[in-house]
A and B are shown apart, each in its own frame.
Chain A
């Protein structure tokens, strides 16, 4: 294990439970990202060694899927959906209000490391448009002012 950080143990247990098979790569990356919040070089190398998948392939998978991030996230995460239904219902204004209120743009984290702002192409909840998720909880038909107030209060 790369260090005696206890979180490595979670990743290792998960790998063992999946039989350390190369085809478990995506699930293992999921649990590594869940444990650490993002995937750094140590994590990728550790997974690569343990599953016997070449580092190039691990890096390829980690960068192919949008869910995986190689940069650390803020304490809280807000995802604003910019799919078509949300877009015509004002996703753009939500993003600009967040920019105005909290000074953070999509794919960025606030200076105090409190909040990461992300956008999604579609959250599959078009009938609740506009939609955002705050720390994984879905908020339907959000108004920009309510959302900014909620994020500021986190």
Chain B
């Protein structure tokens, strides 16, 4: 195996009570902050730019550049908003990170706020994850008590308030402008850009919105240097990232590795497919919003450029693995149902388009499809893609178009045979298999 795992964010997750401040301080916790407060903020922004880190929330926009877009200070408030609204089907990296190492995120928040001159940071969390909310609240309290948050942090004269806010269950709030609307107490619907959040974000003030993993990587970059970070990964996709593996693998979970690792390598680390008798059929490189891959793509390096060149997107590195017991039509039908449910209703292509996609996918799943259903699916997708207000609409089409591209015959079979008949669901479930072996 050529590529090795690089446990950096995940380095002490297996410690007892890894979430406490005491454990974190044992693992170099808040050392980076002590260094940061002695540096000019502009150097911190430059360091992040030099590291080449690209946002870990899916779009891959360079983090340092985002910070650099803020206008010069005008005396008014500016905000840091941490996007912890991880809701993408298959993505499970931010939630375990905040559960196991909330202090890591808080240290990143303090350093970032210091770098961009913000005195009030928000962490916007999903409403469903009550356990994470409690843990994060406790961690923030601990950090306040230890003097890492509040007034005059470490004697530097820098003040920072951190507010943890829980959303109330809406996938769309992961979109940065919808998240800002939700923070302001409104329905989470995306805003028209420009103005970008860097110019007029939260309460129409300059705002930086970053993903949890991006912020949590900042302390490590500061401690080890930008060139250390840039030395990992590939030339344009530097550094490490958490890959979340789920589905039909032997050991699903979070694997932290340099970008550019391949699924073949990751699968080997994860103990291979769950049932060796079944082959890999299809997988998503970055959650359901990214076009799917097949076993022909096992050796595609998982970095932004290579995945894009192969026709998909790296997204949030949520690798959902499906073996040959799974019906593509049924999986896509699930995803489409999700997007139809989560469409916020602001723009017509997405609101109406996902509704019709769902109807057609249900027909095909139950074997009631008609002759022109596949063309109609692709036509609707074409009318949503690049015509919807935000990326949710675009995302809803990618699983359909890629599935038709690779598995057209299964969609054609949906005109007469139901998915359940062709691929009995019992064959792919965990407990059905256990009862067979027991």
Contacts and interface: CB of A to CB of B under 8 A. Distances in A.
Contacts of A13: none
B169 A143 contact: no
Contacts of B193: none
Nearest to A33: B168
B260 interface: no
Contacts of B430: 89-90, 129-130, 141
Main secondary structure of the interface of B (DSSP, over half): mixed
Contacts of A111: none
B331 interface: yes
A88 B187 contact: no
A128 B342 CA distance: 23
A121 B342 contact: yes
B87 interface: yes
B185 A129 contact: no
Given A84-B331, A124-B129, A23 B184 contact: yes
B434 interface: yes
Contacts of A92: 425
A103 B341 CA distance: 25
B224 interface: no
B254 A88 contact: no
Contact of A64 (B86, B94, B188, B429): B188
Residue in B92, B95, B169, B171 with the greatest tally of chain A CB atoms within 10 Å: B92
Contacts, number: 143
A79 B67 CA distance: 39
Contacts of B341: 121
Contact of A68 (B168, B335, B429): B168
Given A90-B431, A129-B252, A130-B430, A65 B127 contact: yes
A25 B170 CA distance: 16
Contact of B167 (A22, A24, A26, A130): A26
Interface in B328-358: 331, 334-335, 338, 341-342, 344
B140 to A, nearest CB: 15
Interface stretch (B70-78, B239-247, B401-409): B239-247
B95 A124 contact: yes
Interface string B29-50: 0000000000000000000000
| Interface bracket on B | 35 or more
Given A85-B320, A88-B331, A61 B92 contact: no
Interface string B373-415: 0000000000000000000000000000000000000000000
| Interface bracket on A | 35 or more
Contact of A65 (B167, B335, B432): B167
A124 B97 CA distance: 11
A26 to B, nearest CB: 6
Nearest to B171: A121
Contacts of B338: 83, 121
Nearest to A24: B185
A29 B431 contact: no
Contact of B128 (A53, A123, A141): A123
A136 interface: yes
Nearest to B134: A136
Contacts of B334: 82, 84, 87
A34 B99 CA distance: 22
Contacts of B253: 127
A127 B92 CA distance: 8
Interface in A88-142: 88-90, 92-93, 120-130, 136, 138, 141
B185 A25 contact: yes
A93 B431 CA distance: 10
- Kindly list the 9 A-B residue pairs having the minimum CB-CB distance in the complex, ordered from nearest: A90-B429, A65-B168, A126-B246, A127-B252, A67-B169, A25-B185, A23-B185, A67-B168, A66-B169
Interface of A: 21-27, 29-30, 53, 57, 60-61, 64-68, 82-85, 87-90, 92-93, 120-130, 136, 138, 141, 143-144
29 contacts: A23-B185, A26-B165, A53-B185, A61-B187, A64-B188, A64-B344, A65-B170, A67-B128, A67-B169, A84-B247, A84-B288, A84-B320, A85-B89, A85-B246, A85-B252, A88-B248, A88-B326, A88-B429, A121-B87, A121-B89, A121-B342, A124-B87, A126-B320, A129-B246, A129-B252, A130-B430, A136-B130, A136-B131, A143-B434
